[in-house]
Structure 1
Amino acid sequence: MTDSSAVHALPLSFERDGGELVIHPAAVETPRGLVLVDVGLPGAVEQLSVHLDDLGYGWDDVWAVLVTHHDGDHVGSLPDFLDRTDAAVFAAREETPYIDGRRDPVKGGDSVGVPVDVEIEDGVTFRTEAGPMRVVGTPGHSPGHVSLLLPDADLLVAGDALTAPEGDLSGPNEEFTPEMDEATESVRTLAEYDVDRTLCYHGGLVDEGTDSIARIWDELAE
């Protein structure tokens, strides 16, 4: 029996450029403990601690962090995070050199210099309390960006492949997506899956799924 409530958005708030930035990592309950999906900007660990406590978990319950891609707002807290836990770091092969420091981040800044323990690829599936969680390769926003499909929960964890800046599902942010044609094809890929809800890193959880994703792809492909 699956539990669709076993996926939790963890909103983190930061002051940036004179305004508020809210981002949405996730925690997914599994038989082994929690998998965190991304960990936020530097300084996010205390906010993450509060979320874990609210869920009834501690750092010892986190066995893995799955990185959707290497942008700083997704991995900036990895060094502090790994000071709190022995969790394994999962990321796509194409993202690994930007995370471990062999290459500079595509969009500038410094690498977090954290080793990746397990490289993942399209089709890899994790067993979770919300049913199977499948890795879907969605490059374009970054070379190895991945999204996560939980079909039993009718849920897509989109990372930055989709956004919901005003509470409505939208395409990737073109300003921060170097390969927009590739990102558009990734939206087409996501439109092939049957989901009712989408968790966006920028915008949070929205009650929109396959039909909206297909509409977005049509608009981007025009």
Structure 2
Amino acid sequence: MQGSVGVHALPITVDYGGREITITPTVTETARGLVLLDVGPRGAVETLETHLRNLGYELEDVWLVALTHHDGDHAAGLAELLERVDAVVACHRDEVPYLSGERDPIKGDGDRYPPVEVDLELADGVRISTLAGPMEVVATPGHSPGHISLYFPDGNLLIAGDALVADGDEPLAGPKPHFTPEMDRAAESVAALGALDVDHTLCFHGGYVDRGTERIRDIHDRLRE
């Protein structure tokens, strides 16, 4: 990935909700091992393992899983992963009840994924040391109550989660309204992302795009119309 040594996109094509979609979990290298950003739905672990082996790693090298949010296409495969890996699970505190089973997923269809225990709550501004430089948590609620994005200032790289998408007609767009319960908050989150110095963006839906701050600010302007 351009401008981001030590950060790797792991695209996976899966059947989700009766349709085939391509999703993009991400892994970043650290001195301690790998940090996995989102897992994917049930059945994604096998493909993740293949990707990691191609990078020279094993699944067991993952020591931390940081979830952007609790939606099933991001988190439903986590229980399966934890059967193989003794990893710390981290997310924003507002996502914890949905992951732990205290609440059903907001956009679930009643067939919730296996609950998991969250070990670490992430807050806006928290930084995690990686080989690509510090990885900063950016609170971007709206798509879900505690959605987060991750920002690498040393490479001007944004891991947007679902706060932005890149799988439509435009190279980079705002969150999908149909799947975003609080669009006003989501628009505010796009504004927060537009305040960062971003050259490259990686979206869970659509993957890597060579677009950054200027485009993100344009998206926010459109959302305010």
**1:86 Cα deviation (Å)?**
0.2
Tell me, which stretches of 5 or more residues in structure 1 are unaligned? none
> CA deviation digits over 1:135-170, x for unaligned, max 9?
000000000000001010110000000000136000
* Alignment deviations for residues 60-80 of structure 1 (CA, whole Å, 9 cap, x no partner): 211000000000000010111
RMSD of equivalent CA atoms: 1.2
- 2:163 is equivalent to residue 161 of structure 1: yes
Distance apart, 1:58 and its partner CA = 0.6
2:117 and 2:15 map into 1 onto residues whose CA distance is: 28
**Correspondent of 1:210 among 192, 204, 213:** 213
**Equivalent position to 1:191, from 178, 190, 194:** 194
**2:184 paired residue among 181, 187, 191:** 181
Deviation at 1:107, TM superposition (A): 1.2
Q: Which residue of 1 aligns with 2:37?
A: 37
- State TM-score, norm by structure 2: 0.95
Gaps in structure 2 of 5+ consecutive residues: none
- Could you say which residue in structure 2 is the equivalent of 1:201? 204
* Percent of matched pairs sharing the same residue: 56
CA distance in structure 2 between the aligned counterparts of 1:136 and 1:19, rounded to whole angstroms: 30
1:97 and 1:103 in contact (8 A); partners too: yes
Q: Tell whether 2:64 aligns with 1:61.
A: no
Hey, what's the Cα distance between the residues in 2 that align with 1:4 and 1:17?
33
Question: Which residue matches 1:97?
Answer: 97
Shift of 1:112: 2.8
Q: Report what 1:73 is aligned to.
A: 73
TM-score for both structures, normalised by structure 1? 0.96
User: Which amino acid letter does the alignment assign opposite residue 221 of structure 2?
Assistant: D
Whether the 8 Å CA contact 2:16–2:41 is kept in 1: the answer is no
1:107/1:16 Cα in 2 relative to 1: closer, same or farther (>3 Å)? closer
Q: Secondary structure at the match of 1:149?
A: strand
Give the C-alpha shift of residue 42 in structure 1.
Answer: 0.2
Give the Å deviation of 1:5. Answer: 1.9
**Structure 2 match to 1:14:** 14
